[in-house]
A and B are shown apart, each in its own frame.
Chain A
């Protein structure tokens, strides 16, 4: 079992732990005065530190202003509560060791503070607590929220994220680019038939590409259930709610690949809904946009061409194993009671177009394009291209023991949209 090879990249956890133990005061500007070593030892048993991002005890490296706010709030607050815990439970420990019957302690009879001094001692922790909650941490938290929620000031670009079970659709409305991003980890890796890759479950076919040093406003919605878009390094997590638009923003300061995943229980594929963002400098981003636009025109050309059966089957195999397999399974037998089988299914082995070339309601093609409301079977009309829909339908009709022998051409799908 390769336990932590991916988790502990270049230095071991223990090494990282000691490094941050000895240099945390210098690296993190918020520590006002030197605290004794024992404090930090206890502290680091429980709490992590953003300065050493490669350790498994830690937050992922923050790369946006919001993430820094988030992690500073978190680290400072964790320090405070650890301080409180250590002080309060030191008093508890003192009492437990000192006031034992076996060491001849005589029990007191007091039931509350009596002298002025005792009252002062009893009240002061609460004043301190109120100070921590509403001033020390409360005021920076207020400013952080205002910054976090300010999605519009100076935002230079909009990306729309549409969540569906269990994939993300990314759309750049200004550039007219739209694509779907799904998990790239194979079923073989998930079921242990193949060694797991370095980015197991955190890799996708089409990552979201964002420019660095630019305020990007992200609009979020969902087509089915509530999902939540979370990339830890960006410090943003926001629910994608069907029927509503939510917003957030990122301004990535460092190029790189950032990984996250859906953070809201959204059904069986919840664990398999990763998010990968590649942040690149603006010129490269522009290049990518131009390339993507060219691909877009190629795709509409593909819809016009006549595909051979082998081409359709090959493409269909790829699509099926990327999208459909989660529910309908690799053998097409589905999960009894939850997801219907495609193998031998009446619907798959039935007609999908009537004699006038119109789509048959509740036929195979209709089900793939429009889904079945009220179930996990969603409409793929918006998320798959004409060629992809044609290919996957052809594939399903000629696999798992289904031998329909017919095929669907992308041009037919295009005409039915």
Chain B
């Protein structure tokens, strides 16, 4: 019996099942990493397609082809898909693939949980989209059209089945995120190679460890809030129903208590991997390692005590407004530590500018803009102009796209030769970078000005004074969307062929993952490496 199991295990060990079965049954961290990243990539384009329709509606004033209800559904799905379907799964894919390689572990600590965590995702995505497609056959009133955090509580209560589907999607995604987070914590705390103390861990691993703790702390709050909404809608409770003594603002508090740390859950993995890339292409050791670890922990802590700055116009008491203003401003300090460490990372280096380096520098420049604009937003006086206007839309796209997505793209280009064993087409990569930078700014700078001029968010149609800015922004968005197809082409081309990559890949690359051949064998570090 034991022999038989050993034989099967041995068989699996060397040869993963061929074809589709390999991908359906795998518990291998590299395969799951690829699955997670591919899922994130696919969702990135689905979420992108939704927003193209939204921008098409906003090309000109007037309702051209979307009804306001459809418009609301599209931007809500865009947000949910981009945050929970694209950026978070992609970052989880990176951690799956890279953390065991970076800390010298043979796999993640809980491989089957890992498999389960991934396979929840496609079903969650389908669940989210079902009501959207059902409406075309006349069933229900479509998907949730309430914004990604469903912040208008009373509207949540009167909306159709889309919101119920969204609530169950949130539950599923929550389970998936929790399994992923627990896996990271267990792996990092237990499976580091001998000699790799916590303060020798690569920053990407640190960032993910902190992200995992944040997920474990806030996901239950989000799930609980969604459940309370569900019972309010169907089982006669009155947590949020003002007509029956509930408090609509309570849901906003609960959801932003999740929602603000969520912003950093999206950003932290990117902050973790940027120092790797900057150090590699500057051919220097990581600058300010300790300072960055402490800054990441500080941001993690602060993110839990600032949530109500998303609600500064909801009629908070004066003391709360003052508190949330000052506590939010404090985030600028650890964030500035990170920015100065990135500056220190390239200072007096010997830089070359391959695609990942370009994306990393693009990340710094755009995230810097997002972070600095974020410094003004908590100023309650100024916030009265900014809140729920396009200024906010512009600001958070500078952090989510300029930060999160640029970071993920830098990571993709940086580790793609490691994943595939082949170099990608450098020229295409650079072209993709420059097109992305130009059209990203063309999309989001005009939104800033539309917002200053008084254009609110979430509107399907706008006054004529906002026409010019929306036209530029829409054209920019279409071109930004189109230029992302270049990324698909570059990646597919790299997977299918190209010059062989060395194990080291990049001249200045450091870290355990670059001591392995490219692509790494199916199983790695079965004997832990010794770390000095």
A positions within 8 Å CB-CB of B: 1-7, 13, 46, 48, 56-60, 66, 69-71, 73-74, 77-78, 81, 84-85, 88-89, 91-92, 95-96, 99-102, 105-112, 122, 125-126, 129-130, 133-134, 137-138, 140-142, 144-146, 148-149, 189-192, 196, 198-202, 222, 224-226, 228, 230, 232, 235-239, 241-244, 246-247, 259-272, 335-338, 373-376
What's the least CB distance linking B463 to chain A, in Å? 5
Q: In the complex, are the beta carbons of B468 and A268 less than 8 A apart? A: no
Q: Which residues of B contact A74 (CB under 8 A)?
A: 376, 379, 381-382, 385-386
Asked if B67 contacts A84 (CB within 8 A), the reply is no
Q: Looking at the complex, which one of B284, B291, B315, B382 makes contact with A238 (CB distance below 8 Å)?
A: B315
What 0/1 pattern do residues 374 to 400 of B give for CB contact below 8 A with A?
A: 011001111011111100000000000
Q: Report the minimum CB–CB distance from B69 to chain A (whole Å).
A: 5
Contact indicator B368/A88 (Cβ below 8 Å)? yes
B375 touches A81 (CB 8 A): yes
- Contact partners of A374 in chain B: CB under 8 A: 157-158
> In the complex, which residue of chain B has the Cβ closest to the Cβ of A230?
B456
**B428 interface contact, C-beta 8 A:** no
- B361, CB-defined interface residue at 8 Å: yes
Quick check: A246 and B315 within 8 Å, CB to CB? yes
**Binary per-residue interface labels of chain B (312-331) against chain A in the complex, 1 for a CB within 8 Å, 0 otherwise:** 01110010011001100110
Within 8 A of A (CB), among B296-346: 313-315, 318, 321-322, 325-326, 329-330, 332-333, 336-337, 339-340, 343-344, 346
Please name all residues of chain B whose beta carbon is closer than 8 Å to the beta carbon of A201 when the two chains form the complex.
61, 461-463
Chain A's nearest CB lies how many Å from the CB of B507?
9
- Cross-chain pairs A/B with CB under 8 angstroms, 21 sampled: A6-B467, A7-B464, A58-B453, A85-B368, A92-B343, A92-B365, A107-B350, A108-B349, A111-B285, A129-B333, A133-B330, A138-B326, A145-B380, A202-B463, A225-B153, A232-B454, A237-B385, A244-B242, A267-B158, A270-B459, A337-B140
CA distance A199 to B63 in the complex (A): 16
Bound state CA distance, A190 and B467, in angstroms?
A: 14
A137 to B142, CA, bound (A): 45
Q: Report whether B350 and A271 are in contact in the complex, using a CB–CB cutoff of 8 Å.
A: no
- Interface-central residue, A129, A191, A222, by most chain B CB under 10 Å: A129
Asked if B113 is at the interface (CB within 8 A of a chain A CB), the reply is no
Question: Do the beta carbons of A108 and B284 come within 8 Å of each other?
Answer: yes
A190: chain B residues at CB < 8 Å are: 62-63, 461
Q: Which residues of A contact B248 (CB under 8 A)?
A: 226, 241-244
Given the known inter-chain contacts A77-B376, A101-B350, A145-B318, please indicate yes or no for A59 contacting B453, CB distance below 8 A: yes
Tell me the count of chain B residues lying within 8 A, CB to CB, of chain A: 107
Residues of B within 8 A of A224 (CB): 154, 158
Closest-CB distance, A397 to chain B (whole angstroms) = 26
Q: How far is the CA of A259 from the CA of B462 in the complex (A)?
A: 13
Q: Is the CB of A110 within 8 A of B339?
A: no
Q: Told that A107-B508, A235-B381, A241-B248 touch, could you supply 19 new A-B pairs with CB distance under 8 A?
A: A3-B471, A6-B465, A7-B468, A81-B372, A91-B343, A99-B351, A129-B332, A133-B326, A133-B332, A133-B375, A137-B379, A141-B325, A142-B322, A201-B461, A244-B242, A261-B463, A264-B388, A270-B459, A337-B141
Asked if B283 is at the interface (CB within 8 A of a chain A CB), the reply is yes
Q: Judging by beta carbons under 8 Å apart, are A337 and B387 in contact?
A: no
Given contacts A226-B248, A374-B157, contact A268 B67 (CB under 8 A): yes
Q: Please tell me if the beta carbons of B325 and A101 are within 8 angstroms of each other in the complex.
A: no
Closest Cβ of chain A to B28, distance in Å, is: 35
Which of B's residues lie within 8 Å of A, judged by CB?
60-64, 67-69, 72, 135, 138-142, 146-147, 151-155, 157-158, 160, 242-243, 246-249, 282-291, 313-315, 318, 321-322, 325-326, 329-330, 332-333, 336-337, 339-340, 343-344, 346-352, 361, 364-365, 368-369, 372-373, 375-376, 379-382, 384-389, 445, 448-449, 452-454, 456-469, 471, 508
10 closest Cβ pairs, A-B complex: A243-B242, A144-B381, A232-B454, A271-B459, A6-B464, A246-B315, A225-B154, A74-B382, A81-B372, A133-B329
Q: Cβ of B289: which chain A residues have Cβ within 8 Å of it?
A: 111-112
| Set of chain A residues within 8 Å of B467, measured between Cβ atoms | 3-4, 6-7
A267 to B435, CA, bound (A): 36
A71–B385 CA distance with the chains assembled, in angstroms: 8
State whether B63 touches A268 (Cβ < 8 A). no
A74 vs chain B, min Cβ distance (A): 4
The interface residues of chain A lying within 8 Å CB-to-CB of B247 are 243
Chain B residues with CB under 8 A of A102: 352
Q: Are B152 and A338 in touch, CB under 8 angstroms? A: no
Rounded to whole angstroms, the CA-CA distance of A130 and B291 in the bound complex is 18
Give the docked Cα–Cα distance between A99 and B350 (Å): 5
Q: Nearest Cβ in chain B — how far from A222, in angstroms? A: 8
**Could you say which residues of chain A place their CB within 8 Å of the CB of B386?**
74
By a CB distance below 8 angstroms, the chain B residues around A338 are: 69, 141-142, 160
A242 touches B154 (CB 8 A): yes
Contact status of A99 and B282, CB under 8 A, knowing A141-B379, A239-B313:
yes
Q: Establish whether residues B389 and A263, one from each chain, have CB atoms under 8 Å apart when the complex forms.
A: yes
> Which residue of A60, A96, A226, A263 is within 8 Å of B456 (Cβ)?
A263
Residues of A within 8 A of B466 (CB): 7
- A259: chain B residues within 8 A (beta carbon): 463
User: What residues of chain A lie closer than 8 Å to B461, measured between beta carbons?
Assistant: 190, 201, 271-272
Which B residues touch A130, using CB under 8 A? 333
- The CA of A81 and the CA of B139, in the complex, are separated in Å by 50
A336 to B434, CA, bound (A): 45
A192 to B62, Cβ gap below 8 A?
yes
A96 touches B351 (CB 8 A): yes
For the complex, give the distance between the alpha carbons of A242 and B463 in Å: 27
**Smallest distance from the beta carbon of A97 to chain B beta carbons, Å?**
10
Set A5, A92, A244, A269: member contacting B364, Cβ < 8 A:
A92
CA of A45 to CA of B54, assembled, Å: 26
Q: Which of chain B's residues have a CB closer than 8 A to the CB of A241?
A: 242, 248-249, 314-315
Q: Which residues of A contact B337 (CB under 8 A)?
A: 126
A106 and B62 contact, Cβ closer than 8 Å, known pairs A200-B463, A224-B158, A235-B385: no
Interface pair A192/B242, CB less than 8 Å apart: no
